[in-house]
Amino acid sequence: MDNGDIDGSGDDDFHGQRGRKYRPVLDNDRAVLEMSSMDPGSSSSSFQDQPASLKKINVNANADSDGIERNSPRHAQANGPQRDSKLELFGFDSLVNILGLKSMTGEQIQQPSSPRDGENISITVGQPKPTGPQLGTMMGVFIPCLQSILGIIYYIRFSWIVGMAGIGESLVLVSLCGLCTFLTSISLSAIATNGAMKGGGPYYLIGRALGPEVGVSIGLCFFLGNAVAGALYVLGAVETFLKAVPSAGIFRETITQVNGTAVAEPIQAPSSHDLQIYGIVVTIILCFIVFGGVKMINRVAPAFLIPVLFSLACIFMGMFLAGKDKPAEGVTGLSMDTFKENWSPDYQKTNENGIPVTDGSVTWDFNSLVGLFFPAVTGIMAGSNRSSSLKDTQRSIPVGTLAATLVTSTMYLISVFLFGSVATRNRLLTDRLLTATVAWPFPSLIKIGIILSTLGAALQSLTGAPRLLAAIANDDILPVLNYFRVADGSEPHLATLFTALLCIGCVIIGNLDLITPTITMFFLLCYAGVNLSCFLLDLLDAPSWRPRWAFHHWSLSLVGALLCIVIMFLISWSFTVVSLALASLIYKYVSIKGKAGDWGDGFKSAYFQLALRSLRSLGANQVHPKNWYPIPLIFCRPWGKLPENVPCHPKLADFANCMKKKGRGMSIFVSILDGDYHECVEDAKAACKQLSTYIDYKNCEGVAEIVVAPNMSEGFRGIIQTMGLGNLKPNIVVMRYPEIWRRENLTEIPVTFVGIISDCIVANKAVVIVKGLDEWPNEYQKQYGTIDLYWIVRDGGLMLLLSQLLLTKKSFESCKIQVFCIAEEDADAEVLKADVKKFLYDLRMQAEVIVITMKWDAQMDGGGSQQDESYEAFTNAQKRISDYLNEMKSTAKRNGTPLMADGKQVVVDEQQVEKFLYTTLKLNSTILKYSRMAAVVLISLPPPPVNHPGYFYMEYMDLLLENVPRILIVRGYRRDVVTLFT
């Protein structure tokens, strides 16, 4: 739909001060820093004795005026200085503009428990913060994952594993480890696409899903795993170098016998002292590259990656050509006989270097091979570790991680068949550099490629680990880690230095096969945390759980978590117990010493579904937007009478179910009996039982409450103050719009209706008023068309969330959402549209954004049937208000009293009344023009103006809703109910 213009003219801005154009958001905009709205209402000037009839609007094309004098008081707005606006009917509510959208992207807690949340997007005071390089999917995720996965294990251990386990069990081994990382990648993709992601990778995801205690404990273990992995890759590169250039070794070890049998050629094994010396030197060199920052690493990365791809091509070509020229003893080429001989396992004892010897000190079996091989598939977090440097985490992390996982797993499975068919078992077990032996055409260049590839993997570990540690420190959970905190956009130099020291300490150990089980445990612990996080979030399925990655299920995450635990115990139950004990100790330390707070994690969401525990755990503090559930207070007492034995409007329960995701949540159905409590207590009990039966009949999760009060106003005021307990208090008041008030001449309805809305505003409750409730569809009545949102007031995202909840119902699942925003200048439209689309994209909400240019010019009274019928309703409302005002003045003059209405003194500014009517006229005309055929329309509810009679407010509302068959009038409660953070 094209952006439309509503004809009219005006000089007052909708989004700023008079004459201010729509402009980009600046860092020091006050509205960006604060979202708190001022007290609702509208100020009014003193009543002046003016002519009885209200002035007609001057539809003059001259544009400095709409015929209304500019002497009414200006209304202070929450998002800027005082101003005079046609939309001042909405009082002190903050109007929807880009400043409001930006303020909703941050964590709306005055003292945030997690100070790091949102800093990539929210705007802070002062100079713009520096931003690091924004990487795409290829350079930011796929290549780092590929470099980390294709490391030392494949080049100098994989053929040995095939020789020890045989082809059959090697396939089981690769499939088991590959399935574990694939399921973890799916869980990682789901969590990473459920909102904006800060630095820290898996730590950030686990911490926000399972809480800061679990996040920090697993995050620190994962940091240690990355640091130790750097040592693993460094030792692998050094070992390859010393095998390629034996003369470079200072200390040498020569093996002449294997299992007591003399070998044709002496086997040169690098000395552990050489590994230590060269390893320390290489670690220091890599640290200097890491100190250069992400830009330096990105420049160096291709130099490490290209040799990897080249070496892989040469290895595969060499295995296909190996049988033709028999390059070495024991290399048979691709042979079916060799395949059959190598199919079954042949576990043997070896020395510390993996060479089979009769009295070897190391005993191998399938479980120990799992621990040795698993680090070869543990690079899947390399991309998420760089989350703070990615341009689009929600796209790059799933695509890059899963692509790298599938590519490498496929390559490993193919390599099992090729290695098992190309060389004898003895050659597989004794030639650690078989990949270089069979490579074609330049085996010596392959060794260089192996060295560079392992160094690239080491570089990725030394890059990710310090950033992980800095992210944990920046969250200010553990004071002991404050030394590693870094400013935004800065490199974590101190964390890098600490990581290097840990890496050097592991290098001094010098034994590759002793290091790998330790790494495996830490990585598996992290992967189990990621799977458990996705399992919990998917199982709870809170309204904030809307990941863009749709190919996930809680059962897959549960299987992934259990598989991680099984593999841990397969490798070594002792190492498993040690790693779990270490994580538990860190967890306990964080619980005692840490500054942990509410991050909106999944456990808190689970507490909300376990009512009593949630009350004890959460108290009465403000609910985090991620854990926000609508708890509607359904006001059953109708405006009029219901058939006998019908305690509630039949469609109210249907509508209440539409406010829940998959039926989860609680509704409180309330009705009021007029009378004395002692006299009506038995009637109240019977009515409560009848209402409970009705709720069960309608399959609505909720409770029934009957309140006895002298009148409806007093009863509702008591309900709104006392209903609920802790965070299970109702947060939305739902009621039917009193369409019958004029038809049945019920004069008490306006003052009661206005009083109820005012009480909700004072009590800080959201309000949803339904017009057209008789036609509201049940679950079997399928609706088509659109759900149209006229988003005028910043309501914390309540209107957006309600539209998303409607889409989860069968009756509305075929509808599409349209969000209408209003601009006053044509130049503003495209910029505002782009900003709102970006905001909705970050919220994972699919909607079409339509910006309407609303001009206050002269052509209101013509140009369309919807304008004609709106204008007719406008003139009728003018006449009724004028008659009512005349009667008020006559009564006041006759009694010699001030102007009175609704039992209190009122002050009426006739020009302001005229402006309010004109505002509703324009908005009603807009709705009829664009949304006449919509399945349902949602619009912001204007607050009752201060000192205006309730009769006037009902006229404003009637004019706003004129000829709109089904509409929801929504008012938020100055708290965010949506957030873009994971």
* Separation of alpha carbons 12 and 412, rounded Å: 67
Q: Where exactly are the structural domains of the chain?
A: 137-254+269-593, 621-771, 789-981
Query: CA geometry: angle at 696 spanning 693 and 701, to 5°?
Result: 130
- 476 DSSP assignment: T
Residue 394's Cβ-side half-sphere holds a number of Cα atoms within 13 Å equal to 16
* Cα–Cα distance list, 886 to 45, 338, 716, 741, 879 (Å): 19, 107, 32, 21, 10
pLDDT value, residue 895: 81
- HSE, CB side, 13 Å, CA atoms: give it for residue 777: 14
In sequence order, what DSSP letters do the residues of 791-831 get, joined into one string?
--B--TTHHHHHHHHHHTSTTTTT-EEEEEEEESSHHHHHH
Asked if residue 636 lies in contact with residue 671, where contact means CB atoms within 8 angstroms, the answer is: yes
- pLDDT of 609: 61
**What is the rounded CA–CA span in Å between residue 729 and residue 206?**
29
Q: Are strands 261-270 and 252-258 parallel, antiparallel or unpaired?
A: antiparallel
Q: Looking at the domain 137-254+269-593, which fold is it?
A: Amino acid/polyamine transporter I (1.20.1740)
Which residues is 848 bridged to in the sheet?
818
What is the number of alpha carbons within 13 Å of residue 473 lying toward its C-beta? 19
DSSP 648: S
Low-confidence spans in the chain with pLDDT less than 50: 1-83, 106-130, 857-864
pLDDT (0 to 100) of residue 68:
37
Number of other residues whose CB lies within 10 A of the CB of residue 170: 28
Query: Considering only the top CATH level, what class is 621-771?
Result: alpha beta
pLDDT at 728: 74
- Nearest Cα to 973, choosing from 619, 720, 747? 720
Q: What is the pLDDT of residue 344?
A: 93
**Residue 495, number of CB atoms within 10 A of its CB:** 24
Q: Is 268 helix (H, G, I), strand (E, B) or coil?
A: strand
**Residue 603: what pLDDT?**
62
Query: What are the start-end ranges of the E strands in 824-955?
Result: 848-854, 900-901, 904-905, 936-940
Residue-level pLDDT at 748: 79
Name the nearest CA neighbour of 205 among 520, 598, 534, 474: 534
